Amino acid sequence: MRLGLWTLEHWQPPAGQPRPVLDSNLSFWTTVGSFAVPLLILAQLVLWLDRRGLPVPAFIGWSLAAWLTVAALVIEPSGFPVGVAAAGCLIVGSDRQGR
């Protein structure tokens, strides 16, 4: 069996999947498929804007807060509520810069 991500076995419920298929899913979702890379890119954008004295748009904080809130409600306990606090800081910071 090859460990491709697009096999019919991957569409079966996790309880019915063979161990190699579960391992390939885990490998994908904890590396390339995770939200770590997009969040790192977002952090770089925020730092880039800050270093140039440009305000971070409030929609970035609100969008991040909405996504993290939904994620925190879907999987408990998790570290997602910590991210909501960071999104709140982005919202407050953009409001203060806008004044």
pLDDT tens column, 65-91: 998 888 888 877 778 888 888 999 999
**Residue 85: CA atoms inside 13 Å, Cβ hemisphere, count?**
4
At 1-32, the pLDDT tens digits run 455 556 677 677 778 888 887 787 777 778 77
Phi and psi (nearest 5°) for 77?
Answer: -75, 155
Please name the residue ranges forming H helices in the chain: 19-29, 36-51, 58-74, 80-98
pLDDT bin (cut points 50, 70, 90) of residue 37 is confident
Q: Is the pLDDT of residue 51 over 90?
A: yes
55-62 average pLDDT score? 91
pTM for this entry = 0.64
39-59 average pLDDT score? 91
